[in-house]
């Protein structure tokens, strides 16, 4: 299981929200590039970069942050938040992202997303399954749907998507532990999926638990910024998981 640190961006700064609530914003660093470099120095290979301004606005806003990180580190970056138009997608790939993270578009404009998969290939996308009580939520978690998470994943894996991350909104940013039962259910249904857990991780024990149930990756955010998980130890954990 690979550990994937997260950097969430609002107004160019590295922040974290609690439960997806924009009013509960905490700024951790004003220079995302410096944070990304610290991850790279610790042996991390992949970064989850989220444009929260873009997610709220419905159009990519912080693409310069992406460009700076991709040009000045060797991290493999997946970038999301407001990727709704083909022009935004092209900008994201041109800025250096290895994967474009897609969420709301897969619900609101399926035909557009299908055309992107046909053009770039399913392995160029990281599909976000943001969940509230097993139902998909979109629009920066501000909008609920009646789509069950299992149905959502089945629809898109059938169309070529190979990696999906799932965030339980009720857990995100609260350091209360990940949604193991939800993830077990998904992995049991889709055993060959490159499944990445997200939300609630507070300790190395949580990471070990996620690895034990078969997660291929785990996105970690607030636990790092709050000092619960030491950056320097993350690469050691990654190496242990790949042995």
Active-site residue set: 8, 130
Are 167 and 179 in contact by the 8 Å Cβ rule? The answer is no
Angle at 100 between CA 142 and CA 242, to 5 degrees: 105
Burial of 156 (0-12, 13-18, 19+ CB in 10 A): buried
What is d(CA 57, CA 137) in angstroms, rounded to the nearest whole number?
16
What is d(CA 123, CA 160) in angstroms, rounded to the nearest whole number?
8
The helix (run of H) or strand (run of E) holding residue 96 is none
The tokens describing 162, both together, are: 């190979």
The tokens describing 85, both together, are: 């138009």
């Amino acid at each position: 299981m690979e550990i994937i640190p997260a950097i969430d961006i609002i107004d160019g700064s590295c922040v974290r929200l609690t439960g997806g609530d924009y009013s509960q914003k905490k700024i951790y660093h004003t220079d995302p590039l410096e944070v990304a470099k610290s991850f790279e120095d610790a042996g991390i290979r992949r970064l989850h970069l989220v444009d929260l301004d873009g997610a709220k606005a419905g159009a990519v806003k912080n693409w310069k942050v992406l460009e700076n990180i991709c040009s000045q580190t060797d991290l493999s970056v997946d970038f999301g938040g407001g990727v709704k138009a083909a022009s935004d997608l092209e900008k994201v790939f041109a800025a250096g992202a290895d994967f474009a993270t897609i969420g709301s578009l897969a619900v609101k404009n399926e035909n557009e997303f299908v055309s992107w998969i046909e053009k770039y290939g399913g392995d160029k996308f990281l599909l976000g399954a943001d969940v509230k009580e097993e139902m998909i939520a979109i629009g920066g978690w501000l909008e609920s749907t009646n789509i069950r998470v299992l149905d959502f994943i089945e629809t898109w894996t059938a169309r070529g998507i190979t990696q999906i991350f799932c965030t339980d909104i009720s857990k995100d940013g609260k350091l209360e532990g990940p949604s193991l039962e939800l993830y077990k259910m998904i992995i049991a249904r889709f055993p060959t999926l490159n499944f990445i857990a997200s939300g609630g991780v507070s300790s190395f024990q949580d990471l070990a638990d996620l690895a034990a149930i078969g997660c291929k990756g785990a996105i970690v955010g607030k636990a790092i910024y709050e000092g619960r998980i030491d950056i320097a130890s993350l690469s050691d954990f990654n190496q242990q998981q790949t042995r």
